Structure 1
């Protein structure tokens, strides 16, 4: 007790403070309840100790953490600033493009040239040329199946992206790398918006004077560089801002190229199926959408099976994405789309090319308008000619032969009804042997020699000597023509000479009639090619085209008037009622008199009924014609006519290789017969406009002398021989 009351000596700490205001002792502090301030002080104390402990251990981890934080802050600061600047530049670029975009209606038809639609004589479409635009369709008016097929095939997220699909690009890059190509080669991952930007060529309009050609312009539009892709993306985003999704899709549906000259889905639907794009079924929609990946390769007119196989893949995509039910997809696969009759036939490919080449350039090859041309083509006759040619080459020409043939069928006024320019009939832009091949005419030229003689007043029953005959040609020496049989037949009538295609009488008749007169008559009938100057003219040494020769024979059929072969009857601009031009006939000026034409027709009828053209006979029909075979059989011809149609056939090799065992009276005459059998099927036979010559009248000597003085043909030849040989 006494110990407890003993005064303790002051602590050292207490000495530091005056007694006034001295803080309570430790005991008293402990006795008091702990407050927030005390707790905070303890926490701070512990942290301070940990920091001091860390500093004592060296602090390496803290340094790297601070360095990492600093680097991150630098990168982040740089990134968001660059991003902000890029976004600003992108917005500026999009704004510039946006301000230049026109209204949607101005972007539907982007063709630099117009199209030509060709109708046959009955007004049915059989061919198209140029870039066809079938008219504007919209995402609202087009068939829903077609709309869904395009979206399913080209851009399934079309209605969810902003013009560019990063997922699509990444997927395309992955596929390209997996298939061993560069990241930007092959699949592009372009959205429909980006493809539309490419179709619009980023707003650059074709100006003919600024580009080497339209092809160069389109090649520039289709380039796939990284910079070009970036510009397409900007343009696509600007369109997304300016237009609605359906408006962008509408532009795409009208601008896409779909093969065979079809621009836009309406034109393609009309061309391939003969119906509007608003009416296509799922199978047809799938075929049209399948063309987008490679229009020429998958065009059904080039390979229908390939196009149908592609369409099946599109049907699968439509089913996967819920656009078709399982039943609809199954039906589309089991009943694939088929071409329309006109597209499947592609009738008159050579004929259409000829009409385009011979028509007015401003309205055909270089038209800036959409033109409709009505023609003389008869599709039944066209099929007859094509089938006949195919039959002969399959049945009577050795397999593997490279020989070619051509056929032209026309009316007596020159209206061309059918044309086959080669063995491949369903073509466009191919070499046309009916109109472009200049070939020696051989004996098919002889009717014009005898036409000259008849026009001068000679009779088919006048006679001429078939005997050895030679002519001195200045600069070339002596020329001695021979008959094909290498025989001589003595005195023969002009009719018999033509019937048997004798060469020596033809040369003599040409000499007596005057070579210049023969050239005048042949030119008058439409043979515009250069005609030989020497006596070989009579034997067809000159070159001509099949259409010229057939037109010249049409002049004989129509009574002796010149004929200009024609195929265009009416030309109108699309939508106009008044034609720009009309052609009603190809008959021109008279060349020989009607009597001479009728007698010549009688002579040519005997060529078929009794002479070298026997294989061209038609049961129940009168046929007139003439065979022709050139030197070494490089060309073989048969041209003939009934009262209704003239048909010409040429056969030969493109490289002038001689034909083996073929003459004009052989395979060409058979092709002619097969063609005309099909053409005349169901027709009533009509007699030829011909007249047999009056038989010679036995007269007294003075009268016969008078006949000789007036131009008796045999005496003229005797006089010519006397002048040449002096006997």
Structure 2
């Protein structure tokens, strides 16, 4: 029969396990079945509520982009950590290599390529500095804490917490640069003190004259600010942080940083500006020194004290805000800003110091590699007297806007220069020195050497000569007719009268009578080394010479007829040595004319100052002698003279040889001389001049103003010169 009416049993797999093990599997299955049922019910219900197919496609797009972004991030991360690891390894190796090459910190404290020259006056007081001055080694612990704190507060307030570079400082600097419209690396650099020290060390590259075109090129390379240079600088800074302590790095910085005025290092700057060691500076002084680090040349107090004080006030505010100064101490520093020492403020003897530097041995002055101290002849009181006299005349007597210049030299009778002003601007250095460099026609200031020759050959100051028309035939040039300044002829005059009134014709006659070669020989013997004119115009000062030469020549007259070599250097020694390497090379030399001739010439020049063309130079309380001088076309005006104590020379003119208007040697130059010597002799008891008063008896049978004979020297001159009346 058919089984179709019976219910068929479900298909069941063969039982493969014993009965004893069946219970547990069944029980185990029941629970998952319920769970499965429960879990699958929800998807069915949620499936009925699912969004359209388009939305389902959107989920796929989102998942795709999420996966893509994740993939990119994984690639970037994988690349970044690998590059970062390699970069860190390179930096570590670079830092390690530089670390191994760094020398001991104390060998890096003085990094100057050149040495310095410190000059003291005749009393041993410092008045000038030249070259790269280094005052001596200081450390972060030996300088005044006010200076140390000011530097840290100004340059790198996180100095004691960073590892050589300051990411926060760099980020802040970039933000400021961008805000101010500059490039991110232009302007503020965010450099730490360690990085600045690395730059001062030129990243360990030392100057080599064979490798670099010049020191300037080397220094320019050290200061460049390219991105690659910044990277190398940061690596070098980190190596320094690993090698040295913080105070050692700060010590290197305090010794090598340029602080203006030729001073390298805190000690040199402190001595230069305040006349005291760096260990003794006050908060206000420490703030001023720290403020110089930003712009040492423009902020130097010797260039602009007010600007330097303003910058120091900013530094004081930083010190107060960072806790280095109390409110009251900061206010006191603001109320009493730092002032220059008297030597720094005076800035005395700039022209004189330049002259000493140029006249001394090059390897101890201009190109010295060591620190040198030069004791000089300068007298700061006399120097100030000359500067004040120059300022007074140009303020009170010269019209505003005039471009005329002047120069002054004051010396002792042995040629020791006591004061020198090479131009109207007195507080300068490294500029054109008209006292030593400018060669100008001396004019009638040369005439004393004509009469010195005559006196040495036996003439008398009371001998006479005819002041009359004169024409001389000069081979190759034709006839030459000298004229007196007043265009008049004065007949028979004594040599004293001729010099007193600065008559030209008698001077030419006497020069030709005694021999032009003899006149040149006497002038050269007194120290006028410039090329002297060959013709008779020699007697009228047609030759060019310097004020220093002329003043030195007059010193020979004062000292009794011996030549002198003007000098400013007394002794030169190394800074740490007591014994000098060299001593004065100037001073009195051989005799040129006899003492009697010199004393008689002094009498003649005394008459010039008291009754002649130089009356404006005369002093009320003492005897002086001198001579005026005005060159052809009035391009140069001179007055040179002396008292019993000092010789002084004054020149006035234009640098471009423009003729002076209404100025002769008897005018403004004589007034400058008067003002100078009045100040020079303050407090000095008057002494008589060493002169033969009233001159010597006439040797041609005449005395001054007596008789009317036409023989003697006048006839001799006619015979020798073959002159003719015009």
Q: TM-score, normalised by structure 2?
A: 0.93
Alignment of 1:8-407 (within 5 A): 12=10, 14=12, 21=19, 57=56, 59-407=60-408
The structure-2 alpha-carbon separation of the partners of 1:497 and 1:38, relative to structure 1 and needing over 3 Å to count, comes to: farther
Distance across 2 between alignment mates of 1:9 and 1:340: 127
Unmatched 5+ residue regions in structure 1?
Answer: 1-7, 701-707
Alignment of 1:477-556 (within 5 A): 477-556=478-557
In the alignment, what sits opposite 2:3?
none
Establish whether residue 440 from structure 1 lines up as the match of residue 441 from structure 2: yes
Distance across 2 between alignment mates of 1:47 and 1:413: 123
In the alignment, what sits opposite 2:705?
none
Residue 45 of structure 1, CA deviation: 7.2
1:425 match: secondary structure? coil
Alignment of 1:645-660 (within 5 A): 645-660=646-661
Distance across 1 between alignment mates of 2:17 and 2:353: 127
In the alignment, what sits opposite 1:694?
696
The structure-2 alpha-carbon separation of the partners of 1:396 and 1:168, relative to structure 1 and needing over 3 Å to count, comes to: same
The structure-2 alpha-carbon separation of the partners of 1:726 and 1:193, relative to structure 1 and needing over 3 Å to count, comes to: closer
Contact 2:469 2:724 in 1 (8 A): no
Residue 63 of structure 1, CA deviation: 3.0
Unmatched 5+ residue regions in structure 2?
Answer: 1-5, 703-709
Contact 1:455 1:596 in 2 (8 A): yes
Residue 726 of structure 1, CA deviation: 11
Residue 23 of structure 1, CA deviation: 9.7
In the alignment, what sits opposite 1:683?
684
Residue 170 of structure 1, CA deviation: 1.1
Alignment of 1:469-484 (within 5 A): 469-484=470-485
Tell which deviates more after alignment, 450-459 or 52-61: 52-61
In the alignment, what sits opposite 1:718?
718
The structure-2 alpha-carbon separation of the partners of 1:269 and 1:42, relative to structure 1 and needing over 3 Å to count, comes to: farther
Distance across 2 between alignment mates of 1:265 and 1:47: 84
Contact 2:461 2:696 in 1 (8 A): no
Residues 628-672 of structure 1: CA deviation (Å, up to 9, x unaligned): 011121111000000100000001111111111111011111110
In the alignment, what sits opposite 1:455?
456
Residues 502-529 of structure 1: CA deviation (Å, up to 9, x unaligned): 0000000000010111111101100011
Residue 159 of structure 1, CA deviation: 0.9
Residue 16 of structure 1, CA deviation: 6.4
Residues 236-275 of structure 1: CA deviation (Å, up to 9, x unaligned): 0100010111111110000000011100011001100011
In the alignment, what sits opposite 2:707?
none
In the alignment, what sits opposite 1:591?
592
Distance across 1 between alignment mates of 2:339 and 2:212: 39
Contact 1:290 1:310 in 2 (8 A): yes
2:279 match: secondary structure? coil
Contact 1:133 1:262 in 2 (8 A): yes
Distance across 2 between alignment mates of 1:362 and 1:234: 38
Residue 50 of structure 1, CA deviation: 12
Contact 1:462 1:714 in 2 (8 A): no
In the alignment, what sits opposite 1:704?
none
Residues 196-223 of structure 1: CA deviation (Å, up to 9, x unaligned): 0000001111122322221111111101
1:86 match: secondary structure? helix
Residue 62 of structure 1, CA deviation: 3.0
Distance across 1 between alignment mates of 2:91 and 2:42: 51
Residue 537 of structure 1, CA deviation: 0.4
Residues 420-458 of structure 1: CA deviation (Å, up to 9, x unaligned): 000100101010000011010000000000001111111
Contact 1:458 1:713 in 2 (8 A): no
Residue 12 of structure 1, CA deviation: 1.5
Distance across 2 between alignment mates of 1:425 and 1:389: 8
Residue 54 of structure 1, CA deviation: 12
Residue 21 of structure 1, CA deviation: 4.7
Residues 491-512 of structure 1: CA deviation (Å, up to 9, x unaligned): 1111110010000000000000
In the alignment, what sits opposite 2:572?
571
CA RMSD of aligned residues (A): 2.8
Residue 160 of structure 1, CA deviation: 1.1
The structure-2 alpha-carbon separation of the partners of 1:477 and 1:49, relative to structure 1 and needing over 3 Å to count, comes to: farther
Q: TM-score, normalised by structure 1?
A: 0.93
The structure-2 alpha-carbon separation of the partners of 1:74 and 1:327, relative to structure 1 and needing over 3 Å to count, comes to: same
Paired residues in the alignment total 708
In the alignment, what sits opposite 2:602?
601
Contact 2:471 2:723 in 1 (8 A): no
Distance across 1 between alignment mates of 2:41 and 2:463: 144
Contact 1:613 1:627 in 2 (8 A): yes
Contact 1:531 1:543 in 2 (8 A): yes
Runs of 4+ in 1 over 6 A off after TM superposition: 22-26, 37-56, 697-700
